[in-house]
Structure 1
Amino acid sequence: MLEIGSARVVRQGIGLLGGTFDPVHNGHLAAARAALETFNLGCVEFVPARAPWQKAFVTPARIRLEMLKLALEDEPDFRVNELELLRSGPTYTIDTLEAIRSRLGPGYPLVLILGGDQWLNFHTWRSWQRLADYANIAVCERAGEPIRTNPSIESWAAARRVEAKELTRHASGAIAFFSMPSHKASATAIRSMLGTQPFPDAMRRVGDWLPFPVAAYIAAHGLYGTRSGRF
C-alpha cells in the first residue's frame, strides 16, 4: 500500500510486459514504470519470448534472460516471468495468459501492457479477441507519437474502454491507454549501431539507452557484433 499525503493508494494487479528484449533497454523500463504508477499495479513482470512467431531470428533466450535479470537487479517492483522460455514451439500470448490466469484464478487483475506498434498490429496476434477474456489491456502512448490502429481493432475495443484509474477494478476485459515520456531507445537501432559502428562510437550513441549492467554485458560478450571495450 502506498501513502500519498493522508490518502492511501492500494496497489493491486500484475502488469505483464512481453517482448524479445533483444536487448532490454531503458525504454522498456520507462514503459513499465509508467504502467506501474498509472494503474497502481503491485508489480510488473517482464515476459521474455522464447520463439516469437513473428520474428525470424532472435538472440538465444539464455542470453536475453541474463541481460533482463541484470537490468532488473535494483528494481524491486519488477521481476522476470520465465514461463514462455519453458514452453516449446512458437510463443503465443494467448497461451501465456491462459496459463497465468489458471494459476491466479478468475478474480485477480492482470494487465497486458502493449506498445503503440503492438496495438497497431494487434489484430494479427493469435486469438487476439480472446486475450481480453484473460487480462485487461493497457496501451502505451509515447509523448508526441499518436497511437495508430485500424477499424477492426477500434470497433472491438470501443465497448471495453475505461479510464486508467478504473482498469484494475476489473480482473480482465477492460482496455485503457496511458502515456510515458518520449524515449528514443529502440532495440533494432541498438543492434544496428553496435553491429556497424566502431565500439566507442556506438556506445556513445546508445549508452543512454541501455542500463549500465546490460551495456557492460554486451561489451564483455561481444554481442551484436561489438568488440570488448571499457566504460
Structure 2
Amino acid sequence: MTNQRQAIGFLGGTFDPIHFGHLRPALEISERLSLQKLFLMPNHIAPHKSGTQCTSLQRSDMVKLAIASQPMMEIDTRELNRDKASYTIDTLKELKQVYPNTPLCFIMGMDSLLSFNSWYKWQEILDYCHIVVSQRPQWHPNFNTTIQEVIDHCQTINIQDLHTLDHGKIYFQDTSQLDISSSYIRQLIHNQLSIDFLVPDSVSQYIKENNLYQTKAK
C-alpha cells in the first residue's frame, strides 16, 4: 500500500525503560497493518502514574537507541514538551492538525481497553483516530457494558478500513505478548541482576553508562 491515505500509527508509553515487550508488538502491528510509519511517543507525566525514575531526555534517548535500526519507526516527543499531565485526547487533536488527511491509528494494549471508559474525554477519542488493540492470540476478555457497546458499534475486521476511513474503528491485532515490564527491569537493576535479552543491547549499555535505576525501584 503506497497511497497517501496509508495510516500512521502511534504508541504512547512511559518507556521507563523501553523494552522488547513494547518493541516486538509495535513491529508486528506496523508490518501486519501496513502502516506508513509508527511513532513511539514517550509520555512526560502519564496521568495514571506518579512519576518516572529517569528524565524525559534519558527516556527519549533510550527510545531513539532502541529503534535506530528500524526505518519504519520514529520517535514523537511532543508529549515530553508538556509541563502537565498528558492526555490522549489532547495529543490526538494536535496530531490531527499535523496530519489532517491521514488516518491515525492509536495503539493500546488490552489492559488499556478494559479501562478505556475511565480515560479523560474518552468518548471523543474515536472522533480523531482508529484504535488498534494489541492482544494475546485467542484471548478475549469480558468487557464492561459500556466498552462492549463501543466495540459492537465500532469494531472492524477489515484492515483496509484503517486506511480508507478517517477515524472511528476498533481493530484487534494478535501480537506476541512478552511477559516483560519496565518495573521488573528496574527491580533487576536495583538488585544488580542482568537485564540482557529484555532490552536492546544499546539500551542496556546506555543504562549502565548513566547508572540508571540504581535507587529503589518504584
Q: Give the TM-score normalised by the residue count of structure 1.
A: 0.86
Q: Determine what percentage of the aligned residue pairs are the same residue.
A: 31
Partner of 1:210: 199
Matching of residue 90 in structure 1 with residue 110 in structure 2: no
Partner of 1:155: 149
SS at match of 1:21: coil
Partner of 1:220: 209
**Deviations for 1:67-108, whole angstroms, at most 9, x for unmatched residues?**
011111111000000111122211101000000001211x31
Partner of 1:20: 14
Offset at residue 10 of structure 1 (A) = 9.0
1:1-231 superposed matches below 5 A: 1=1, 12-58=6-52, 59-105=54-100, 107-143=101-137, 146-166=140-160, 167-195=162-190, 197-198=191-192, 202-203=193-194, 206-225=195-214
CA distance in 2, matches of 1:92, 1:220: 32
CA distance in 2, matches of 1:36, 1:10: 16
CA distance in 1, matches of 2:141, 2:17: 24
Partner AA of 2:14 in structure 1: T
Q: Name the CA shift for 1:144/1:174 in 2 (closer, same or farther; >3 Å).
A: closer
Which is further off, 175-184 or 75-84? Answer: 175-184
Offset at residue 11 of structure 1 (A) = 8.3
CA distance in 2, matches of 1:213, 1:149: 39
Offset at residue 124 of structure 1 (A) = 1.5
SS at match of 1:64: helix
Partner AA of 2:69 in structure 1: D
Is the CA contact 1:20–1:52 (under 8 Å) kept in the aligned structure 2?
Answer: yes
**Deviations for 1:42-71, whole angstroms, at most 9, x for unmatched residues?**
110001101112111212211100101111
CA distance in 1, matches of 2:66, 2:51: 22
**Deviations for 1:135-183, whole angstroms, at most 9, x for unmatched residues?**
0000000246544532211112211100142322222111110011231
SS at match of 1:18: strand
Q: Name the CA shift for 1:161/1:144 in 2 (closer, same or farther; >3 Å).
A: closer
Alpha-carbon RMSD across the aligned residues, in angstroms, is 1.9
Task: Tell me the number of residue pairs that the alignment of Structure 1 and Structure 2 aligns.
Answer: 213
Q: Which has the higher contact order (CA 8 A, sep 6+)?
A: 2
Is the CA contact 2:21–2:179 (under 8 Å) kept in the aligned structure 1?
Answer: yes
Unaligned runs of 5+ in 1: 3-8, 227-231
Q: Name the CA shift for 1:159/1:144 in 2 (closer, same or farther; >3 Å).
A: closer
SS at match of 2:197: helix
Q: Give the TM-score normalised by the residue count of structure 2.
A: 0.91
Is the CA contact 1:18–1:46 (under 8 Å) kept in the aligned structure 2?
Answer: yes
Unaligned runs of 5+ in 2: none
Which is further off, 141-150 or 210-219? Answer: 141-150
SS at match of 1:114: strand
Q: Name the CA shift for 1:60/1:16 in 2 (closer, same or farther; >3 Å).
A: same
CA distance in 2, matches of 1:84, 1:36: 21
